[in-house]
Amino acid sequence: MSETGPSSAPLTDGELKEAARPSPWRDVRVLRAAGQVLFVVILVVIAREMYLNATFAIGSAGRELSYTYLDSRAGFAIKEHIVGYSSNQPLYKAFLVGATNAMLVGAAGIVMATVLGVLIGVARLSPNWMVRKIALVYVEVFRNTPLLVQVIFWYVAVILAIPRIEDSVSVFGLAFVSNRGAALPAIRSGADFGTWSLFALAALLVAAIVWRWRTRVHERTGGPHYRWLSSLAVMAVLAAAGYVIVGDAFKVEVPELIAHGYSGGLQMSPEFAGILVALVFYTAAFIGEIVRGSILAVSKGQKEAAQALGLSPGQQLRLVVLPQAMRTAIPPINNQYLNLWKNTSLAFAVGFPDLINISTTMVNQAGHALETFSLVVGTYLGTSLLISFGMNIVNRAVALRGGTA
């Protein structure tokens, strides 16, 4: 070693570094690396132990750890599905039905909760005392009660309490509501839908051109642009013309009450309605508070400036306040969307065939708890990541350019 040598010559750079380096067991870098390696090794050992235990437990039950059971026949019926299913189809198809059912509830819930939530948020700040207080009571009631209580309440105490199917409430003979669910008229594509969609595409294009033209006129002259009005009108006229020319583009399918059930149209089961209504009302309370908070977080000067420019109260809200409020509101609303998506799992309480419900049935019928429930975990995790990813894109689109304030 250089420091022990009797040499009196000046030390070289390499030798200096060598001298400054402490012994390995006192070197922070070495210790850190070693600590991390140890940490990883422990995790790997635990994971391996768990894997071995699982294969042993499953092996001693005479089975093996594999996903091939998913190809075997399901053998149980599922009341509602949007992907087509019968009990003769393989198990993975049943799993898919559960996932798509949950996603349907989640997607519908997200859209409806957003609309209701924004309304509640704006109502919380209404100049009208009565409206303000109603919104406050709504928020305090719905957000401080467990969602499961609400799900069961809507399903058992409200939806199942509406008249029986024999006494269905009919809305002008077009829609029916009873405790067997609701049936709404559906719009189905006709034989010539393909041809008509070309017309629709052309209409969209022309509308876009009209939009640009009106915007240019507005920019040049400063006069009113009416771009929404004019482009939508052009689009509607062209699409209607296409419908008249093509003929059989759409059919309206009106549901019928036959014996003890509905046939045709768009049918909604009471289970679906129960979980959906509960999710919407519950999540809207949270979204309402977020919207209210972010409206109030927009600096007062913005509103005063909009007032000074002579905008009407509606315009102030729509053009100045809400776009800025959206920026602060999006990340927490993203959280609420994720919560709503995860909360679709409460459908188990009303027997709606969602992921949890179907996978529990699968395990009861075919076993393979580890494989099935790990699929459930994977599906929720993947979809949560997807929602988050989508919202991050939205967030980036509305964020202030040049970093956050």
Scan residues 141-160 and list those touching other proteins (CB under 8 A). Answer: 141, 144-150, 152-153, 156-157
Tell me the closest approach of the beta carbon of residue 255 to other proteins, in angstroms: 28
Q: Residue 170 or residue 345: which is nearer to other proteins going by CB? A: 345
Among 16, 45, 50, 169, binds other proteins (CB under 8 A): 50
Strand partners of residue 171: 175
Residue type at position 320: V
Among 106, 348, 353, 366, binds other proteins (CB under 8 A): 348
Q: How far apart are CA 214 and CA 155, in angstroms?
A: 50
Tell me the closest approach of the beta carbon of residue 207 to other proteins, in angstroms: 32
Stretch that binds other proteins, among 19-27, 33-41, 74-82, 191-199 (CB under 8 A): 33-41
Q: Rounded to an integer, what is the distance from CA 273 to the centroid of its chain?
A: 17
Q: Residue 68 or residue 144: which is nearer to other proteins going by CB? A: 144
Q: How far apart are CA 358 and CA 19, in angstroms?
A: 67
Tell me the closest approach of the beta carbon of residue 394 to other proteins, in angstroms: 13
Q: Residue 239 or residue 329: which is nearer to other proteins going by CB? A: 329
CB 104 within 8 A of CB 268: no
Q: Residue 42's CB: how many other CB atoms inside 10 A?
A: 10
Stretch that binds other proteins, among 69-77, 123-131, 193-201, 226-234 (CB under 8 A): 123-131
CB 350 within 8 A of CB 275: yes
Question: Interface with other proteins includes 328 (CB under 8 A)?
Answer: yes
| DSSP one-letter code for 176 | E
Choose among 264, 261, 269: nearest CA to 252. Answer: 264
Q: For residue 331, what are the CA distances in angstroms to 148, 218, 324, 400, 405?
A: 25, 34, 13, 14, 15
Per-residue 3-state assignment (H helix, E strand, C coil) for 238-305: HHHHHHHHHCCCEEEECCEEECCEEECCEEECHHHHHHHHHHHHHHHHHHHHHHHHHHHHCCHHHHHH
Tell me the closest approach of the beta carbon of residue 250 to other proteins, in angstroms: 36
Q: Residue 132 or residue 225: which is nearer to other proteins going by CB? A: 132
| Token code pair at residue 63 | 């089975």
Question: Interface with other proteins includes 404 (CB under 8 A)?
Answer: yes
| Token code pair at residue 115 | 């609309």
Q: Residue 130 or residue 259: which is nearer to other proteins going by CB? A: 130
Map the footprint of other proteins across residues 67-96, applying CB under 8 A.
none
Question: Interface with other proteins includes 51 (CB under 8 A)?
Answer: yes
Among 297, 309, 394, 398, binds other proteins (CB under 8 A): 297
Question: Interface with other proteins includes 186 (CB under 8 A)?
Answer: no
Q: Hey, CA dihedral for 63, 64, 65, 68, is it positive or negative?
A: negative
- Kindly write out the interface string for residues 366-395 of this chain, putting x where it contacts other proteins by CB under 8 A and - elsewhere: ---xx--xx-xx--xx--xx--x---x---
Among 321, 338, 358, 362, binds other proteins (CB under 8 A): 338
- Kindly write out the interface string for residues 276-295 of this chain, putting x where it contacts other proteins by CB under 8 A and - elsewhere: -------------xx-xxx-
Q: How far apart are CA 12 and CA 2, in angstroms?
A: 10
Among 19, 45, 57, 209, binds other proteins (CB under 8 A): 57
Tell me the closest approach of the beta carbon of residue 49 to other proteins, in angstroms: 8
Q: Residue 90 or residue 332: which is nearer to other proteins going by CB? A: 332
